[in-house]
Amino acid sequence: MATESTNSSNTTKSGNGRMIAFGLIALAVVLYILGLTDSYESGLSIKPMDQFAVYPLFGDGPVRWYTPTNATLWMGLAVLSIAVLMVMGTGGRAVIPSRSQSMAELAYGFIRKMVEDVAGKDALPYFPYIFTAFLFILFANFLALIPTSFSPTSHIAVTVILALTVFISVTVIGFVKNGATFLSLFWVTSAPLVLRPILAVIELISYFVRPVSHSVRLAGAVMAGHAVLKVFAGFAGVMGAASVAPIIGVIAIYGLEVLVAAIQAYVFTILTCVYLKDALHPHH
Amino acid sequence: MEGDIAQMGQFIGAGIAGLGAGLAALGVGNVAGNFLAGALRNPSAAASQTATLFIGIAFAEALGIFAFLTALLLMFAV
């Protein structure tokens, strides 16, 4: 037992040493490349918004709705990787799941439980769409974290379509399921009678502002995070040997961005569930 | 110095609107801090309330997003 434990601790120690050595070599390579590029890119030239430019994949023509652009490419990659994960995950159907199967089951169970807890059991027919939207946002956010890639969810055009789909379908579902009683969502019966018309106006405004905040939250968080990464990277390009500090800053912010990517997908999904709950049970 | 006084006003207005994002941070911090205070008093009930935490954070954040949107509109759309 004793020898085994020392052996394992030794291996972890050497593993740590190897990791640190690898990190130092990577840092040295980055600094060397920075030193090379420093010569022709003198002066502080930070263009943090250039990474969000949409351009055609082939040629230099104008961008029309059918033009394959870099946005199309990365959204397609997100869809492709979701399909690969789900096909691989459901292919085996083993009792002891493989890694891909347990990832697929984890995601499915997580979102299914969220829909059931937040929106209620009668929201489960809408679960497939919510799950699809969650996976799309999650994978688009994570793929956008690959350096030099493109983040589709940083564009308000993309997130507005996602949010408007939810908004319109939730409104339609509310009227179809409840008829005119859906309007009792705006008539707060728990408030005093004098206040109810004022509250109705406020509730109406907050209802129609939902798709705005729903979409701009996702786009704003992703865009701001990527712009901050680029600003720090711009500092690293001009500071010479002192650029170790901004590089460490970039690594730290990158870790934060991984967290933000997952949390924003989660928040978008849970707000969809909340709106769906309002449509199915409009009574306060 | 280039540009006219209207453009200067746009930039100043966008900067002031950016303050709103920081004020929303106060609200988000308030929600998360109160959640933590409650969770430390009754840790067994904390796990069931994380969804409520995120909904509260999202609603507090929404008004900060409007400030950000105002800044964006002033910079690019006006």
Taken in order A191, A192, A197, A198, the sign of the CA dihedral is negative
Q: Does A160 touch chain B (CB under 8 A)?
A: no
CATH of the domain at B21: 1.20.20.10
Taking 90 as the threshold, does the pLDDT of residue A21 lie above it? no
ipTM: 0.79
Q: Which residues of A touch B60 (CB under 8 A)?
A: none
Cβ distance B58 to A114 less than 8 Å, yes or no, reads no
The mean pLDDT value for A42-55 works out to: 74
Nearest CA in chain B to A268: B58
* A18-22, A31-35, A244-248, B21-25: least confidently modelled range: A31-35
Helix (H, G, I), strand (E, B) or coil at A185: helix
Contact of B66 with chain A, judged by CB distance below 8 Å, is answered with: yes
Evaluate if residue A39 carries a pLDDT over 70.
no
DSSP H/E element including A6 = helix A2-38
- Chain A partners of B69 at a C-beta cutoff of 8 Å? 212, 216, 220
pLDDT band at A43 (very low <50, low <70, confident <90, very high): low
Is the CB of residue B25 less than 8 Å away from at least one CB of chain A? no
Q: Please indicate if any CB of chain A lies within 8 Å of the CB of B27.
A: no
* Cβ <8 Å between B65 and A213: yes
d(CA A97, CA A104): 10
Q: What is the pLDDT of residue A25?
A: 78
Question: Which of B63, B65, B76 best tests the A interface by mutation, with the highest count of A CBs <10 A?
Answer: B65
Residue-level pLDDT at A238: 78
- Give the angle A130-A131-A133 at the CA atoms, nearest 5°: 65
Question: Looking at residues A37-44, what average pLDDT do you find?
Answer: 50
Q: Which domain holds residue B27?
A: 13-77
pLDDT band at A15 (very low <50, low <70, confident <90, very high): low
Q: Which of A114, A212, A213 has the CB atom closest to B51's CB atom?
A: A114
Per cent of chain A over pLDDT 90 is 52
Average pLDDT over every residue of A35-54: 65
Chain segment B44-56, per-residue pLDDT in tens: 988 888 888 988 9
| In a domain? residue B8 | no
Q: How many alpha carbons fall within 13 Å on the CB side of residue A127?
A: 19
pLDDT band, residue A11 (cuts 50/70/90): very low
Q: List, in sequence order, the alpha helices (H) in chain B.
A: 5-41, 50-72
Residue A197: what pLDDT? 92
Does some domain include residue B6? no
Q: Is residue B51 included in any domain, yes or no?
A: yes
Does residue A4 register a pLDDT over 50? no
User: How distant is the alpha carbon of residue A258 from its chain centre?
Assistant: 9
pLDDT digits over A222-270, tens only? 998 998 888 888 888 777 778 888 889 999 999 999 999 999 999 999 9
The contacts of residue B28 (CB under 8 Å, 6+ apart) are B57, B60, B61, B64
> CB-hemisphere CA count at 13 Å for B73?
8
Quote the minimal CA–CA distance from A210 to chain B in Å.
9
Could you tell me the pTM of the whole model? Answer: 0.81
Output the pLDDT for position A3. Answer: 43
| Per-residue confidence (pLDDT) for residue B76, from 0 to 100 | 80
Mean pLDDT of all residues in chain A?
Answer: 85
Mutate to test the interface with B, among A113, A216, A218 (most CBs of B within 10 A): A216
- The helix, strand and coil proportions of chain A, stated in percent and rounded to the nearest 5, come to 80, 0, 20
Interchain contact, A267 vs B58, CB within 8 Å? yes
In a domain, B5, yes or no: no
Q: With a CB-CB cutoff of 8 Å, which residues 3-22 of chain B face chain A?
A: none
Chain B touched by A212 (CB under 8 Å): yes
**Per-residue model confidence (pLDDT) at position A5:** 44
Q: Smallest Cβ distance to B55: which of A209, A263, A274?
A: A274
Decide if B66 and A220 are in contact by the 8 Å CB cutoff: no
A8 touches chain B (CB under 8 A): no
> Is residue B2 a part of any domain in this protein?
no
| Gap between the Cα atoms of A162 and A216, Å rounded | 11
Would B28 be classed as within a structural domain?
yes
- Residue A133 reports pLDDT greater than 80: yes
The more confident residue out of A54 and A15 is A54
In a domain, B59, yes or no: yes
B1 occurs within a structural domain: no
Query: How many domains does chain B divide into?
Result: 1
Higher pLDDT, A9 or A14: A14
State the average pLDDT over residues A204-210. Answer: 92
d(CA A80, CA A38): 38
Query: How does pLDDT run across B14-35, given as a tens digit for each residue?
Result: 999 989 888 999 999 999 999 9
